[in-house]
A and B are shown apart, each in its own frame.
Chain A
């Protein structure tokens, strides 16, 4: 079945450093979504990418969708302690009626 893989599993950065997490799908995706989960909280929607090669920015966050629509990345510039949490990518699975299948997530810790 479809798999969505994320790397790295865990990253610990100094405040002010940049951070990137990568997402790869075993199949072509019609779209990809990103979610953030704060420690002890629930996942919260960040963004959806639809077009091949699409790049979207939200303040210090930059999201990219690969040309082949099988990979995506989230880059955070100059991390802050408020960026702490787990970042998930998710893509629709044809196997489950186009419902979202999530990657394992990247845990980000920021040292101040």
Chain B
């Protein structure tokens, strides 16, 4: 039982490049989330999903897209990366409101 798995763990992009972050959970949770963490700003909700095939915007959705084609997977895409998207990205899933986080992806955009 791996819990929540994020790939990759580290990535460096050039401005304008695109990439997809993958999140997978094996706990059969309905709800999944993407947060970003920046110094002094805590965790900010980017997008979330309440079930397969559904997505919704969070606090800071601009510049990101998401997809939940399968219940166990939640993908976060950056179509044209910007330096402001340099951050640590955490995926989470939840059961009864309690969040289970992945180990994070450290993304740098140069």
Contacts and interface: CB of A to CB of B under 8 A. Distances in A.
Interface of A: 1, 6, 9, 31, 33, 35, 41-45, 48, 88, 90, 92, 96-97, 99-105
Given A43-B101, A44-B101, 8 more contacts: A45-B100, A48-B98, A96-B59, A99-B33, A99-B45, A99-B48, A100-B33, A100-B97
A83 B84 CA distance: 32
A102 B58 contact: no
A99 B58 contact: yes
A33 B97 CA distance: 9
B48 to A, nearest CB: 5
Contacts of A41: 103
Contacts of B90: 42-43
Given A9-B40, A88-B43, A97 B56 contact: yes
Interface residues of B, number: 24
Interface string B34-72: 010000111111001010000011110000000000000
A105 B45 contact: no
Given A96-B59, A97-B56, A99-B58, A43 B98 contact: no
Contact of A104 (B40, B56, B59): B40
A45 B94 CA distance: 11
B34 to A, nearest CB: 11
